[in-house]
Chains A and B, each alone.
Chain A
Amino acid sequence: MTIYSLYIYDRHCTCVYYQDWHRSKPPRPSVEGGILPAVSHQVNPIRPDETTVAGPTYTNPRNTLTSMSGVVVAVNDDTPAPSATTQPAPPQSGLTFDEEAKLVYGVVLSLRNMIKKLSGKDEQFVNYRTSSYKLHLFETLSGYKFVMLSDPNTDSLRFVLRQIYAGPFLEYVVRNPLVSMDSKERGIDNEYFRTSTDRMIRGLSVFQ
């Protein structure tokens, strides 16, 4: 029983945040211009002059040497990840991240619309399950869509997504002077939001 990844989309249908915990293949960095800046350091388009990860390293199971326990290590770490040069990179997924994000959003939107047409506007799309994952959706009235992928045997994680919204999102995104909500040019990634959602997810009983 575990949680794979989290995507957040705003009402302009763009991905504004991405975080993952377990993935079979790490996401490929997106092409230049494919995603907004400030979505995630992991999937930011790599410019040709950058050889090491420019931003601060976040705890991520793919990074070697960081803690594999549930406790979030203090984020005072500005050294670039050594894994870029010390070991061969694991095989990456076939799609770049921006395509992957758009596909996920497309699936969610089409299913939502189909369900509303079939059963009326009081029905809500909650989650769907395949043989290898389960996708949960929580949508806010303001149009933000929280999408979470977990393993197929999990119960509905809507309450988790609602907790993320009521907790870290309202605290460190809405109330953060440096994050512009509803901008069409930037995502909402920032350090406090990332560490607090990480801490919240790792503290759940369904995780690991």
Chain B
Amino acid sequence: MNVPAATSSLSPAILALAEPPARLIDTPAMDYFLIEVVNALRESSAVAVARTKKLEQEMVDAGLLPPPGPSAVAGASAASKRDSSFRDSIGSGISRSESAQGKSLVDDEEEGVRQRLEAIGMHVGANIAERLCHDRSLFTDTLDAVKFVCKDLWSACWDKQVDNLRTNHRGVYVLQDNAFKPITRLSTWEGRADGIRRAKLYVAMPGGIIRGALARLGFQAAVIPEITQLPQCTFQVKLPKG
């Protein structure tokens, strides 16, 4: 920007206040950090789940909980999943209860990591939205808020805009991104299906960012990320009507 000669009397400090220099971050550095965040949370979730299981085992030993028999295994595993989503294994037959419990340990940890990532995303999204909205007028309706998410939030976080927005006009919006940045470089040796399964974890935080941004703006939303094909990702946003 050329400063005209008449304003050369302004000190550089005032000029800097008028047009703050853009503070940029090196995106690879941010990516490396986020990779490590997931690894660290995985460890932390494993420790938390192990602690809960140990506690439960002690309670069982002390006789406060019914001992895990074949019919009570499903009950015990139901209790351990109290704070995570309801699972099919609870309704499963007795013969599956053993494998269900083994699988539920890994699922518990994965679910723990996912919840922590989403919680982090909610705080981050709320504060980003606060910053992005500081000079904006009020939202006229929910569609306006979703469009803000699609354009401003997406360009602030991932340098592009949402590729496709669909709605059923009853409060459900589907945001589709054909090359979602956090998962563009995700690739495994085992094949695409495995890649899709593991990518679910890495879209948990972006889902939380969307949810947190909408929550800070006053819209209680449920956000469900879905991946059918790398690197395409869709977010289903359910907003209450009005």
Give the B-binding residues of A (Cβ under 8 A). 37-38, 41, 55-56, 76, 78, 170-172, 174-179, 187, 189-193
Known: A174-B32, A178-B187, A191-B195. 6 other contacts (CB 8 A): A38-B189, A55-B191, A78-B192, A177-B35, A192-B187, A193-B187
Question: Inside 8 A of A175's CB, which chain B residues have their CB?
Answer: 28, 31-32, 35, 185
Question: Inside 8 A of B35's CB, which chain A residues have their CB?
Answer: 175, 177
Q: Which of B31, B34, B186 contacts A178 (CB 8 A)?
A: B186
Q: Which of A41, A55, A78, A172 contacts B187 (CB 8 A)?
A: A172
B198 and chain A: residue at smallest CB distance: A178
Interface size on B, residues (CB 8 A): 17
- Within 167-186 of B, Cβ neighbours of A (below 8 Å) are at 185-186
In the complex, A172 Cα to B183 Cα: how many Å?
11
In the complex, A190 Cα to B199 Cα: how many Å?
14
**Are A190 and B28 in contact (CB-based, < 8 A)?**
no
The A contact surface, by secondary structure, is loop
**Are B185 and A172 in contact (CB-based, < 8 A)?**
yes
**Are A177 and B186 in contact (CB-based, < 8 A)?**
yes
With A175-B28, A177-B35, A177-B38 already in contact, the answer to whether A190 and B187 are too (CB < 8 A) is yes
Q: How far is the CB of A18 from chain B (nearest CB, A)?
A: 12
In the complex, A37 Cα to B185 Cα: how many Å?
20
Question: Inside 8 A of A174's CB, which chain B residues have their CB?
Answer: 28, 32
Question: Inside 8 A of A171's CB, which chain B residues have their CB?
Answer: 185
B190 within 8 A of A: yes
In the complex, A189 Cα to B190 Cα: how many Å?
9
**Are A191 and B185 in contact (CB-based, < 8 A)?**
no
Q: How far is the CB of B228 from chain A (nearest CB, A)?
A: 13
**Are A176 and B185 in contact (CB-based, < 8 A)?**
yes
Question: Inside 8 A of A41's CB, which chain B residues have their CB?
Answer: 189
**Are B190 and A55 in contact (CB-based, < 8 A)?**
yes
B164 within 8 A of A: no
Of residues A55, A78, A178, A179, which shows the largest number of chain B Cβ atoms within 10 Å of its Cβ? A178
In the complex, A38 Cα to B202 Cα: how many Å?
21
A-B contact pairs, 30 of them (CB 8 A): A41-B189, A55-B189, A55-B191, A56-B191, A56-B192, A76-B192, A78-B191, A78-B192, A170-B28, A171-B185, A172-B187, A174-B28, A174-B32, A175-B28, A175-B32, A176-B187, A177-B35, A177-B185, A178-B186, A178-B187, A178-B195, A187-B189, A189-B189, A190-B187, A190-B188, A191-B187, A191-B189, A191-B191, A191-B195, A193-B187
**Are B31 and A191 in contact (CB-based, < 8 A)?**
no
Question: Inside 8 A of A191's CB, which chain B residues have their CB?
Answer: 187-189, 191-192, 195
Question: Inside 8 A of B202's CB, which chain A residues have their CB?
Answer: 177
A186 and chain B: residue at smallest CB distance: B189
A37 and chain B: residue at smallest CB distance: B189
- Within 24-75 of B, Cβ neighbours of A (below 8 Å) are at 28, 31-32, 34-35, 38
In the complex, A203 Cα to B28 Cα: how many Å?
26
In the complex, A178 Cα to B187 Cα: how many Å?
7
Shortest Cβ-Cβ A-B pairs, 9 listed: A192-B187, A190-B187, A38-B189, A177-B35, A191-B187, A176-B185, A189-B189, A175-B185, A178-B188
B32 and chain A: residue at smallest CB distance: A175
